[in-house]
Every structure is written in structure tokens, then in C-alpha cells.
Amino acid sequence: MNRSRASAISNCEKEFTLEAIQERKRLDGRSVYDYRQVFIKPSPVTHGNVLVTIGETRVQACVGCEVVVPRPQRPTDGLLYFNVLPSPMAAPNYDIGKSSLTMRVERLLDRCFKESRSLDTESLCIIAGQKVWSIRVDIHILNDSGNITDCCVMASFCALKHCRRPYVTVSGEHATIHPVSEREPVPLNIHHTPICITFGFLSEGNYLLVDPSIEEEKVLTGHLYIVMNIHREICTMQLEGVALQHEEVVKCTKIAMTKVNELNKSINKYMGIRTNAKNMDEDGQSILTNVLKETTLQIDNIQTAANVQEDRKNGKDIIQEVQEDVYEIMYPMEEEPPVTEEEEPPKTKPRDKDTDEEEEVTVTLTKDDITGLTSIETGLTSNTGEQTSVNRNSNKETSGTRGRKRRKRK
């Protein structure tokens, strides 16, 4: 990591931290294998916008999509970009622009999602060789208090999972992108859940700890990043700056496995909160605000306001890129939701968002599927509450709605 002023830590502090860890104690009272508290707050108004905090580390990820021409080498693959944006207020020593930190995290994300085929890029194809979806994940680092990598991976995953793209019908060479008002936007196809666990190593790899905090990172000699999914598969692994025996590596993967299970549970839990929030829509704004209060407890207000502003900027950018007809102003919160409807490709099995098995069942929207598709309208049961929300929340953010969100927070 590029912490140019990392040496600002005094030798005293350094030794103290080291000694503490050697006694298997950590400054914040955790034991060496403990993970900090994780909060995930998907935005109740905008799809693909999720805030993830691990302890004090805070990262917000937003997803945007646009239609582009695919790469000539891979005409049937959609595009997926990750863009890590370290904010200067996150830590005093962040470089402006691309640093080795952002570069490393971006590549790790690439490998997590693209190379381990977590996101089905083929399903993003609209017309082979001509039009595909380009998904872009902006990851804002709002506060760095250690272990930014895990946080970024988790935020990107949640944002992608949370994201909906507009529905598209294809007839021959002609594709129609349906406005959100016309057709239900569809979620992205995610095959599995990559979760990153960072291990820190001290004094030439003799001591190991999970989820290092910012103070600990300053005294670490090396890192091991393990990205796994709950199917006990290693998606990506990267070792940095330390020499390890291979038994240690194997041991780390085992620890990572249990941690991944834990984190996966909490991801499900928090993504669940969001679903509940949507279910309460009928009760109007009051409940929603309650939920908002609940989930933003940990967040200080100034920071949040700043997020919103940043999001607005982003939102504007995205809007420029998306064709006019895709863009649709969202329904006001108070309004009764339109009839819940869902387009489902014929292959789709009933969805069960809260279980992991769902991830295995993938919806592959190949070109043929789409062309032969007539949208099937199904009345949904209550557990598919998120579809309800889809109607009111455009995939694309608008400054107007963001403004509303802020007002509510006040």
C-alpha cells in the first residue's frame, strides 16, 4: 500500500503494537482472528448504491450501466469496470488520482468478478458484436481505517447484487431499452459470492492477524488476500511482501473459509434489511425513515452529506451516458407502487433471494432467449418485495431524488 507518510508512526507506538500482538492482544480488544463489526447499508432509493463499513472503514459503491459496442475480440461479452476513488479526506496520505493502492484493489476486483466469472458477463450481451451492457462500479473510499481491500470487495459485491439494469427486448437487429416505468428492470446475474479476507503478517510472517486496523497496518510486513466464496472455492489469492511456509497458507485458507461464512451471513442479513424496508413501502414514509435512521446510526452526518453530493455528481455523469428513453424520474416515495410485475425469462426458477442456492441458479439471458421472449407477468408474493421497489427506483440516479433522500435524512 502506498502510505507515504506511514513512517509518521513513532517507534514507541510501533513497538507497543508489535508487543501487544506478540501477546496475541490487539489494540482494539479483538483477538487475532476476530473480524470487526460489519454494516451494510444498501440505499433504499437507488439501485446499485451500497455503503459498507467494517469498523470505522467506510466505503460506498455505486453501479452505473450504459450500452456500448463490445470489444471486437469478445463480441458476446459485456464489460465490467471497477473504479476505486480514494477521497482525500479518507486518509491524509492518499495520493490524488491513481495510486498503487487503487490500482491493486481494482485489479483484485477484476480478478474476483471477471476472471473468476462471478458476474456473468455473457448475460450482458444485447446484440452480439454490436451492443452490450457496460457495468461500471465506482467505489468511493470514504474513510480508511484499515483493511480497505475487504471493504471494497464487499461493497462492490453488494452493489452489483443490488443493481438493476433496464429491461431490453431484441427483435432482429433492433434492441429496445425499456424505461423503468414500462418494464421491470432486471438484476444482474451473479454466480457466486466472492468475499475477501485480508491477513496481515508481522515480523517476517511469525505473527498473523485477520482484518488489520489502520494502526496495525502500519507495522505489518506483508499481506495475504484470500477471496473465497461459500462454495469453498478460492476465487483469487494474492501474497505480498512476506515469506510463508505452505502449511501457513493452507491454514489461512481454512480460517478464511470460516470468516467467509460469517461474513456471508451478515451480507444476507443486511441485504435483507433493505428488502424489509421496501416491504414497508405501503406504510408510507415514516417506517422508511425509521429504517434509515436505524441503518445510518453509525454514520456521522457530515460524511453522509458528502456522499450524497458525490453521488449526485456521479448520477449526473451517468445520466449523460444513458439514452434518453432509459432514464425515468422515479416515483415519489409516498405514492402507491404500481402493480408488481416481473419479466422473467422462461428458464428462471422462482427466486429466493435470501438463500445462497439462488446464486447457483443463474439466469442466462442469451440473445436467443431475449428475442424469443414475451414478458411473463407474475403476481409476486411478499418475499419478492424488492421487485416492488424496482418500480419506484430507477436504475439511474437523478439529482432530484438524491436531493429528496437527503432531505429525509435531515
Partner 1 sequence: MAGAGSGRRNRYLAPEATRNPLLCLKEKKEDNSILRSNQLRQDGRSCTDIRPVSIQSGIVSHVTSSAYIELGDTKVLCSILGPRHTQKDFNLEGQVLCQVKFAPFSCHFQKPSQQEEKFMSSIISEAIVGAIRTETFPKLETLVNIVVLENDGSMLTAAILCASIALATSGIEMKDLPTACTVSYSDKASNIYYDPTIAEEYSTANENKDVIGYKSVVYLPLLREISGVYQVGVAESHSVSSQLLEACIEGGLRYHERVRQYLKDLA
Partner 2 sequence: MADFEYLSPEGLRSDGRRPQELRVLSCNISHCLQADGSAYLQQGNTRVIATVYGPHDVSRRSEAQHDKAFINCQFSMATFSTSERKKRPTGDKSCLETSLALKKTFEAAILTDTYPHSKIDIFVQILQSDGSDKAVSINAITMALIDAGIPMKDYVCATSVTLINDTPIVDLNYFEERGPGPELIVGTLPKSGKIVFLQVNSRLHIDNMEKVLKEGMNGNQRVHTILDTLIKKHLEKSILT
The binding site for partner 2 (CB under 8 A) comprises: 4, 73, 100, 103-104, 106-107, 110-111, 115-117, 192, 205, 222, 224, 228-229, 231-246, 249-250, 253-254, 257
Q: Which stretch binds partner 1 (CB under 8 A): 39-47, 78-86, 254-262, 293-301?
A: 78-86
305 contributes a contact to partner 1 by CB under 8 A:
no
Please classify residue 7 by burial: count the beta carbons closer than 10 Å to its beta carbon, then call 0-12 exposed, 13-18 middle and 19+ buried: exposed
Report how far residue 135's alpha carbon sits from residue 189's, in angstroms, rounded to the nearest whole number.
12
Cell of 75: 463480441
**Site membership for partner 1, residue 69 (CB under 8 A):** yes
Nearest distance in Å: CB 7, partner 2 = 9
For residues 98 and 269, which CB has a smaller minimum distance to partner 1 in the complex?
98
Residue 400 in the binding site for partner 1 (CB under 8 A):
no
From the list 23, 29, 96, 324, which residue makes contact with partner 1 (rule: CB under 8 A)? 96
> x/- site string to partner 1, residues 127 to 166, per CB under 8 A?
-----------x-x--------------------------
Per CB under 8 A, 253 contacts partner 1? no
Interface with partner 1 (CB under 8 A), residue from 86, 146, 194, 200: 86
Return the number of the residue (253 or 366) whose C-beta is nearest partner 2. Answer: 253
Instruction: Give the largest Cα separation in the chain, rounded.
Output: 70
| Residue 246 interacts with, from partner 1, partner 2, none (CB under 5-8 Å by kind) | partner 2
Q: How far apart are CA 40 and CA 268, in angstroms?
A: 10
Q: Does 321 bind partner 1 (CB under 8 A)?
A: yes
Q: Residue 367 is placed in which grid cell?
A: 440473445
The answer to whether residue 71 forms part of the interface with partner 1 (CB under 8 A) is no
CA pair distance 89, 328, nearest whole angstrom: 33
Query: 230 near 261, Cβ under 8 Å?
Result: yes
Q: Across-strand partners of 123? A: none
Alpha carbons 378 and 381: distance in angstroms, whole number: 9
C-beta of 235: minimal distance to partner 1 in Å? 25
Closest CA to 59 of 127, 154, 132: 154
310 binds, among partner 1, partner 2, none (CB under 5 to 8 A by kind): partner 1
How many whole angstroms separate alpha carbon 409 and alpha carbon 299? Answer: 11
Binding partner selected for residue 25 from partner 1, partner 2, none, CB under the kind-specific 5 to 8 Å limit? none
Considering the complex, what minimum distance in angstroms separates the CB of residue 13 from partner 2? 17
Q: How far apart are the C-alpha atoms of 405 and 410, rounded to whole Å? A: 9
> Is residue 320 part of the contact set for partner 1 (CB under 8 A)?
yes
DSSP, residue by residue, 56-86: TEEEEEEEEEEEEPPPTT-TT--EEEEEEEE
Grid coordinates standing for 138?
465506482
Cell numbers at residue 259, please? 470468516
Type of residue found at 10:
S
Q: Which residue, 233 or 282, is less far from partner 2 as judged by CB?
A: 233
Q: Provide, rounded to whole angstroms, the least separation between the CB of residue 99 and partner 2.
A: 10
- Distance (Å, rounded) from C-alpha 54 to C-alpha 37? 6
Query: Which amino acid is present at 200?
Result: G
Q: Which does 213 bind (CB under 5 to 8 A by kind): partner 1, partner 2, none?
A: none
178 binds, among partner 1, partner 2, none (CB under 5 to 8 A by kind): none
Where on the chain is the footprint of partner 1 (CB under 8 A)? 69, 83, 85-88, 96-98, 138, 140, 310, 313-314, 317, 320-321
